[in-house]
Amino acid sequence: MKQVLLIFLGGGMGSVLRYLISSHFNSSENQLYLGTFLVNIIGCLLLGLVLGISLKNSWMSSETTMLLGVGFCGGFTTFSTFSVEIHALLRVGNFSMFFLYVAASILIGVLSVVLGLWLSKGL
Percent of the chain with pLDDT strictly greater than 70: 99
CA distance 43 to 103: 17
Q: How far apart are CA 39 and CA 102, in angstroms?
A: 15
What's the pLDDT at 91? 97
pLDDT, one tens digit per residue, over 37-85 is: 999 999 999 999 999 999 988 778 999 999 999 999 999 999 999 999 9
Confidence of residue 122 (pLDDT cuts 50, 70, 90): confident
pLDDT at 29 over 80: no
Instruction: Report the number of distinct structural domains present in the chain.
Output: 1
The answer on pLDDT for 32 being more than 90 is: no
How far, CA to CA in Å, does 75 sit from each of 55, 108, 111? 22, 19, 20
Residue 37 near residue 79, CB atoms below 8 Å: no
pTM of the predicted model as reported, rounded to 2 decimal places: 0.93
How many angstroms separate the CA atoms of 68 and 109, rounded? 18
What domain range includes position 72?
A: 2-120
Looking at residue 59, its pLDDT comes to 79
